[in-house]
Amino acid sequence: MRIEVVENVLKANDAVAAANRRLLERYGLLAVNLMSSPGSGKTTLLERTIPMLGPAEPCSVMVGDLQTTRDAERVGPYTVQATQINTGTGCHLSATQVAEALGRMELERLAYLFIENVGNMVCPAEFDLGEHARAVLLSVPEGDDKVAKYPTLFQKADVILLTKVDLLGVLDFHIDRVREDLARVNTRAPLLRVSSRTGEGLGDWLDWLRRTRAAAAGAGA
Amino acid sequence: MHEMAIASQIVEQSLRIAAEHGAGRILEVEIEVGAMRGVVPEALQMAFTVCSEGTAAEGARLHIATVAARARCKLCGREFEPQYGFFVCPACDRADVELLAGQDILLKGLECRSPQEADRP
């Protein structure tokens, strides 16, 4: 027998993501999904960002990793809560994993929830987690060809952070190539140049976070 | 390897639909995959084989049809087929587009043993 159906296969994930988004909106916080390759500086960026936001804008972090709780331990001291999600062999976070972790978190007094996805430039882009915004990191040592090589990740970004810019003078990295490729992929997301080591550009990143949070609160009201 | 998560969804949804129709074993699963989803058909086939093991879908054929991407330029309104991940309008050379097709993964149909045949080996 033949059964005709039209059913979205990612429906289950998308439905959970929508529920996550509704829950997060109730608390008036901004949830940012950070995506990039391993070693591009997601955790270090958070170690610098959260103290700069300070006690007036409390943050929690949800960290996705295959193994270890190292990243959660690193950001833990700066946060209200740091929750580790070990995905085992899974190369991305799913909305269900985020929903389970949200159930263990105190969301009441948070200004920001950072979701640090598994380091991977392919799979995380395909799964909506219920976040409000997607931040994609590209570090200078990775090379200036990554936008062209992994376009879907950059296409979905709301902000793109070029990290480790203190190495621009040391490595053959041409920022114009990144800009040219981005012009073909995503003209909406701003490109911010940051260095967690020197602090360069972190002010722009904080401005972006505050603007985006204010806009999300305005849209939700 | 996000194909594993997709395959496990396909198996789960197929089993539920077949059960709702009182069907027996699943013989074939037909899906449409948008070109923008970055799915590797061979990887999805392999993942489907693994995920369906020990279920009523074990041994079923997975038929994958790829759906080409379609985009509309927000600036000049032109519709075109973007290449994987690149969204530049051929008319005005800008990348401010709305995606019309090629983003979905859809389950389209199942071929199953009928309820009468359900108990047959």
pLDDT for A92: 87
Residue B42 lies in a domain: yes
Closest residue on chain A to B88 (Cα): A184
Residue B18 touches chain A, beta carbons under 8 Å: yes
Question: Closest partner residue to B86 among A2, A7, A151, by Cβ?
Answer: A151
Task: For residue B21, give the CATH number of its domain.
Answer: 3.30.2320.50
pLDDT in tens, A126-149: 889 999 999 999 999 999 999 998
Which of A1, A6, A126 is the best mutation test for B, with the most CBs of B within 10 A?
A1
State the pLDDT at residue A87: 83
| Residues of A with Cβ-Cβ distance to B18 under 8 angstroms | 3
pLDDT tens per residue, range A32-47? 999 999 999 999 999 9
Q: Would B94 be classed as within a structural domain? A: no
8 Å CB contact between B21 and A4: no
* Residue B112 domain flag: yes
Return the pLDDT at A54.
93
Looking at the structure of chain B, the number of domains it has is 1
- Give me the residue spans of the domains in chain A: 11-215
* Partner residues linked to A139 by β-bridges: A163
Of A3, A94, A188, the CB nearest to B112: A3
Q: Residue B79 falls within a domain, yes or no?
A: no
ipTM given for this complex: 0.79
| CATH placement of domain A11-215 | 3.40.50.300
User: Taking a C-beta distance cutoff of 8 angstroms, is the pair A221, A39 a contact?
Assistant: no
Query: What are phi and psi for residue A46, nearest 5 degrees?
Result: -70, -40
* A165 within 8 A of A63, measured Cβ to Cβ: no
Identify the residue whose tokens are 């920001």.
Answer: A112
**pLDDT value for A32:** 97
> What pairing do the DSSP bridges indicate for beta strands B26-34 and B105-112?
antiparallel
Whether residue A61 has pLDDT greater than 90: yes
- The reply to whether B45 falls in a domain is yes
Residue A9: which of B13, B113, B115 has the nearest Cβ? B13
Min Cα–Cα distance to chain B from A11, Å:
9
Q: What is the pLDDT of residues B41-88, one digit of tens each?
A: 999 999 999 999 999 999 999 999 999 999 999 889 999 998 776 788
Percent of chain A clearing pLDDT 90 (strictly above): 67
Domain hosting residue B22, numbered range: 3-68+102-117
What does the block give as tokens for A23?
Answer: 């829950």
Q: Cβ of A91 under 8 Å from any chain B Cβ?
A: yes
Helix (H) or strand (E) holding A37: none
Cβ-Cβ contacts under 8 Å between A and B: the total is: 99
Please say if the pLDDT value at position A221 is more than 80.
no
Contacts of B21 in chain A (CB under 8 A): 1, 3
Residue among B2, B14, B30, B51 with most chain A CBs within 10 A, to mutate:
B2
